[in-house]
Structure 1
Amino acid sequence: MNLGLMDVIKNIAVLGVAAYLTTQLPPFRRALSQSQYRLRDKLVLICIFGFFSAMGNYLSIPVLGAIANTRIVGAVAGGLLGGPIVGLGAGIIGAIPRYFMGGFTMVPAVMTNVIVGYLSGLVYARYGVRNIGVKAALVVSFGAEVILKLMILAFSSSFEAAWELERIIAIPTTIANCLGVMLFVYIVRDVYQEQEKVQAKAAQQAMQVIKKTNGVLWSGLTITSAQSVAETIYSEIDANAVAVTDTEKVLAFIGDGDDHHIIGQPIITQATKLARKNRHTVITNAKESIGCPVDSCPLTAVIDAPLLVNNRFQGSIKVYKTGAGVILPYEAELVQGIADFLSLQLLHGELEAQTILLAQAEYNSLRAQIHPHFMFNTLGTIRAIIRTDPEQARALIKDLSDIIRRHIRPGREMHTIKQEIDFVDSYIRLEQARFGDRIRIIKVIDPVVCRQAVPVFAVQVLVENAVKHGLSPKKGGGIIEIGVRREDNTVYISVQDNGVGITGKSPEQLLEAQPVSRIAAGIGIGLSNVHARIQRLFGNEFGISIKSRENEGTCVSIRLPWQEVAPDDTSEGSKSCYCR
């Protein structure tokens, strides 16, 4: 009996159609999309490729008491596309029907189906599925056919019958089965390329949305920020409508259905209410599940992704389709990813607000403190001179009252250099009353910077540290030089002393953030706090720098951006631009 090539190719055509239809099944695509197959994915692939191998037995042509078939196509394709375990499993499934069909080639046919399935899987393990193309499929399938022919000749019960069989079917079945494996691999690679295009498109869309919405929600979810987010998503994603809500109402809506989905209106769709209740993404391709109470609403499919901050529902991103449109899996993942990114922005804004509140609370706490030792020493000094020099005592009491008033009076965080220097003068006069000529002050201040904005207490802290840690421990005291100058758009404030210098800690350690309880007392705020305040107000390129040499002195400098305070913004005691 002669075997025509077309007889086998017809069977391959049937197998090819079945293979193409199978690649359109979501479970098959999900299994193939895994970079590392899980057990469930392997079982799915084993069943599918095993089915094709088994089906190859029934798409067979009897020849001389044997069977010419396409059985090895499923086993080899399974190994190439799923790995050794899938190839082995598919080979076993395909071999079971062949065993019951009998014939003098039954034993080698069963053995070979299992062997070539496993060997094909080793090729997968060596090169990876995405590196296996049509050429590799041709080489592997041809090798599998050679193994099959040799096994039939070696293990068949009749060598003469086996030889006669192979003389008739060797060339047609080899060509047909090689074409079958190549066709299967080609179809699956086409699926991969389609998935990669979809993933690339989704990645590009996600990057565009992230780029355009980065930082938009840092200040919170408002109508303005929600509108910006909705416009960006609507322009980048294939959607018929996009909406953004907070916990209670619609903040933005663009697209079909905007006649009744109105900004400011309470949430009316059941999908959003379900997402809010369960804090999970809701995906539906049924108009009834959306739950819009307006019968004429054109929206038929939605993905409703919640915006969660610490598992608290803050709002939702809703992407709608109309008519026959459905939410595709990649679109669901894309919208969920965008929602996660926007949730992180809300969290960032919340943390930033908490940081500002904490810093302000710490600042208010510190500015309200007046160290007891300073009070005791100052009052003791006033008591000592009140009988001998009442006028000086009166002036010192005024200076002390000014300091106390500035500390306990709520106010803004910034004022002018002139106001800060006036405050420093009050502090210096109190210290000079205690230490006398041991503390001498030199001020070199450019008059043009008198209205420069400076954080409250910034210079006073530097002077206080110079007195307390620089000159006080030094026998005979020393000199403190205060300098303020402007260079282009930058203002430099320096406080330099010729005291004992810094010992025990590096300048970097002095600027490290510390809790309130550990900040060195005095009458005010530690260097680290001032440094942190400056950077928070103006940016990390500004702040405090320290240079010190032991037994030679210390120079602490503040770098600020040029920022003049308008005359109307100045408070009392700041009517003149003259700095002493």
Structure 2
Amino acid sequence: MIDLLLLMLERVGLLIIVAFLLSRMHSFRQILHNEYGWKEKLLLVLLFGGFGVISNYTGIVIQENNLILSQVWQGDLGAESAIANTRIMGVAIGGLFGGPLVGFGAGLIAGLHRWTIGGFTDVACAISTILSGIVTGLIGKRLNKQTNKGIWLVVIIGILMECVQMGIILMVAKPFTAALQLVQIISLPMIIVNGFGMLVFMLIFQTILQEEERMRALQTNKALYIADQTLPFFRKGLNADSCKNVAEIILALTNANAVAITDHHQVLAHVGLAGDHHLTQKKLSTKLTQKAIDQGRILKAYSSEQIECYNPNCPLQAAIVIPLQVHKKTIGTLKLYFTKISQMDKIEQELSEGLGKLISTQLELAEAEIQSKLLKDAEIKALQAQVHPHFLFNAINTISALCRTDAEKARYLLIKLAAFFRRNLQGARQMLIPLEKELEHVEAYLSLEEARYPDKYQIEYQIEPAIKKVFIPPFTIQPIVENAIRHAFPKLDPGQKGCVTIRAFTENKEMVFITEDNGKGISQELLSKLGNQEIDSAQGTGNAIYNIKQRMKEIYGEEAVFSIESQRGLGTKVIIRIPMDTKKWRDQYADSIYSR
């Protein structure tokens, strides 16, 4: 029995070597991941059926309870002979991996081949082999072969199938006494060796699966890291500067020798080799790129001829071109170039394809973000451009009356009215203006109001000269002053003046704007709503404060502070704090479409 066990271990080693060699083949790895159709299933049937045939040929002949070692490759058997082999192992693994169809097919091939060899157990072995294929195929549909629990379950199934074969030999093989003696000799070695072989096979296959999973996890992690690094640039859209930064990041984190990004018509960025003729801001230099744009699908080139670069000395020998799509429309391409075809392996191709999808998603999100900001800007600018009709009519009536009594003052007020409207229009077109322009807007408004109500208001300016050139959002101070004039002083006693103080200064790397009045104040109920929601007002839109706060949030985020302090009968103070780093915000909006 020990001799038989050692000999069978030697035979099963041959199948293990074959399995290991297969594990290095890409097509076989795909099959293990269930990436197959009818053609692949037929291949599995032939493959695992072939394992059974090899087992039949390399089996150890048992004749009259003795081992026959004269033949290494077995042919026809005598009527009193049988074979101890690992046929069930190959068929069972085929069924477990390929399902009922593969299990039945592999069992049929191995079983019929065993029947043709002969011997007094030929029918019993053929039946048990086919049955094992069907049973393991049915089990394989439910078995999770990727877990450790699955490995040992497969081993147990292999052992049970071998036990079933021993039972069928006892039931079918004749004479019974010879069958019983045979089972006593071969059962334990065959059960042990088949169980061991199943274990080794499963360990090899599980290593393949785990290796693929690790590689995919690494690819996913790298792709997500690249996407995270490139996101800030793609938020600026598909332009030369952002694409150059993105291409440099991708080149550093992949095995590519050159990376390029294009739009429909030209190369926006090319970094790495061949930069001498793959020039940026020029028309597309390869026909392969144009094909990828036209067809909207990934194209690969495995030679310089397939790249179709016009330069015959181009060092780039392989490429993968991925279309970048927004809303299913191709807007450009991502291209990875290689100097050797071997560099463009499956891992690099899958990483490139993943990057193309992530970048397309980033561009879609960037466009959605731009559209959202445009919509918000349009809403804000619509509010900014509003002029209360009654203010216009009152100004015209005041100027009209002055034309008869004080023509010079009427002329002065016409100039201020024109300045007021000019600032309104300019502010509606821009996201940032110098503080001094905002103060001119305030002064034009107050000049018109003071003409209507002489000696009713007192305006005080406390402005640090150094910050007059600093850029701030338009309509930041003027609407607050207008609110104070219109709402803080509804009724004044004779001889009493309303006082509005406008202050602007720097403090702790912030610009602070304070507009303060000595008017009637605001109720606590209304104070809790101001700036946090739109408020209906019989005298206007009631949204000036809300509008200003929303713009502060859009431009400066959490770095801006907007607050209102007020008590009934004691007046109101509106405080705005924004970051002093105005160049940062100015540059940001100067480079974007929002400053148009």
Interval of TM-score (by shorter of Structure 1 and Structure 2):
0.7 to 0.9
One-letter amino acid of the counterpart of residue 376, structure 1: F
SS at match of 1:171: helix
Aligned to 1:458, the other structure's residue is in SS state coil
After TM superposition, the structure 1 = structure 2 runs for residues 474-493 of structure 1, keeping only pairs within 5 Å, are 482-493=502-513
Match of 1:32 in 2: 32
Q: Where in structure 1 are there 5+ consecutive unaligned residues?
A: 513-517, 566-580
Matched, 1:404 2:427: no
Shift of 1:248: 3.4
Q: Deviations over 1:361-415 (max 9, x none)?
A: 6666555543322212333445567767778766655543432343346886544
- Residue in 1 aligned with 2:72? none
Q: Which residue of 1 aligns with 2:88?
A: 72
Match of 1:235, as an amino acid? A
- 1:285 matched to which residue of 2? 302
Match of residue 576 from structure 1 = none
8 A contact 1:485–1:493 mirrored in 2? yes
Contact 2:105 2:133 in 1 (8 A): no
The residue number in structure 1 matching 2:393 is 376
Instruction: Give 1:72-111 correspondences, 5 Å limit.
Output: 72-78=88-94, 82=97, 86-97=98-109, 100=112, 101=115, 102-104=122-124, 106-111=126-131
Does the C-alpha gap of structure 1 residues 368 and 542 become closer, same or farther in structure 2, counting only changes over 3 Å?
same
Q: Separation in 1 of the partners of 2:248 and 2:467? A: 47
Number of positions where the alignment pairs a residue of Structure 1 with one of Structure 2: 548
Q: 2:184 aligns with which of 147, 167, 182?
A: 167
Q: Distance in 2 between matches of 1:459 and 1:188?
A: 72
Q: Indicate the residue corresponding to 1:319 in structure 2.
A: 336
Q: Distance in 1 between the 2:437 and 2:555 partners?
A: 19
Paired position in structure 2 for 1:459 = 477
Match 1:191 to one of 191, 208, 220: 208
Partner SS for 2:321: strand
Partner of 2:65: none
* Matched-pair contact (CA < 8 Å) for 1:519–1:526: no
Q: Which residue of 1 aligns with 2:549?
A: 531
Q: 1:559 aligns with which of 572, 577, 595?
A: 577
Q: Aligned AA for 2:530?
A: P
How much does 1:270 deviate? 2.5
Which of 552, 555, 559 is the aligned partner of 1:541?
559
Match of 1:570 in 2: none
What TM-score do the two structures reach when normalised by structure 2?
A: 0.74
Q: Report SS of the residue matched to 1:243.
A: strand
Distance 2:461 2:310 in 1: 74
| Aligned 8 A contact 1:440 1:478 in 2 | yes
* Alignment CA distance shift 1:55-1:77 (3 Å): closer
Contact preservation (8 Å) 2:441, 2:478: yes
Normalised by the length of structure 1, the TM-score is: 0.76
Counterpart of 2:559 in 1: which secondary structure?
coil
Change (3 A) 1:347 1:129: closer
Cα distance in 2, alignment partners of residues 484 and 324 from structure 1:
65
**Stretches of structure 2 lacking an aligned partner (at least 5 in a row):** 63-79, 116-121, 584-596
Conserved? CA contact 2:124–2:168, under 8 Å: no
Q: CA deviation at 1:552?
A: 8.5
Q: In the alignment, which residue of structure 2 is the partner of 1:510?
A: 533
- Structure 1 residue 117: deviation in Å? 4.8
The 1:158–1:482 alpha-carbon spacing in structure 2 relative to 1, beyond 3 Å, is: farther
Q: Note the C-alpha offset of 1:421.
A: 3.9
Greater shift in the superposed pair: 325-334 or 241-250: 241-250
Aligned to 1:515: none
Q: What amino acid sits opposite 1:95 in the alignment? A: G
Q: Secondary structure in 2 aligned to 1:325?
A: helix
Tell me how far 1:27 sits from its aligned partner: 4.1
Name the SS of the counterpart of 1:486 in structure 2. Answer: strand
CA distance in 2, matches of 1:430, 1:150: 110
Report the counterpart of residue 114 of structure 1 in structure 2. Answer: 134
- Alignment correspondent of 2:588: none
Q: CA deviation at 1:285?
A: 2.1
Q: How far is 1:4 from its partner?
A: 3.5
Q: What whole-Å deviation, never above 9, does each CA across 1:329-359 have from its counterpart, x for those lacking one? A: 2211211222334444555555666666666
Residue number in structure 2 paired with 1:239: 256
Distance change >3 Å, CA 98–CA 242, structure 1 → 2: closer
For 1:94, the aligned partner's letter is A
2:316 aligned residue: 299
User: 2:233·2:242 contact (CA, 8 Å) conserved in 1?
Assistant: yes
Structure 1 partner of 2:69: none
SS in 2 for 1:179: helix
One of 504, 520, 527 as aligned partner of 1:498: 520
Moved more, 547-556 or 242-251: 547-556
Query: Which 10-residue stretch deviates more, 303-312 or 101-110?
Result: 101-110
The residue identity in structure 1 corresponding to 2:23 is T
Equivalents in 2 of 1:212, 1:453: separation in Å? 30
How many Å separate the matches in 2 of 1:167 and 1:544? 92
- The one-letter amino acid of 2:233's match is V
Structure 1 residues 58, 549: closer, same or farther in 2, change over 3 A? farther
What are the residue-to-residue correspondences of 1:300-379 with 2, within 5 Å? 300-325=317-342, 327-347=344-364, 367-379=384-396
- Give yes or no for contact 1:457–1:524 (8 Å, CA) kept in 2: no
Contact 1:208–1:236, Cα closer than 8 Å, also in 2: no
Percent of aligned pairs with the same amino acid: 29
Query: 465-474 vs 532-541, which deviates more?
Result: 465-474
Shift of 1:143: 4.2
Q: CA RMSD of the aligned region, Å?
A: 4.5
Give 1:510's aligned amino acid: Q
Any conservation in 2 of the 1:74–1:90 contact (CA below 8 Å)? no
TM-aligned CA distance change 1:168 to 1:470, over 3 Å = farther
Partners of 2:503 and 2:514 within 8 A in 1: yes
The answer for the alignment partner of 1:575 in structure 2 is: none
| Gap change, CA 1:222 and 1:520, over 3 Å in 2 | farther
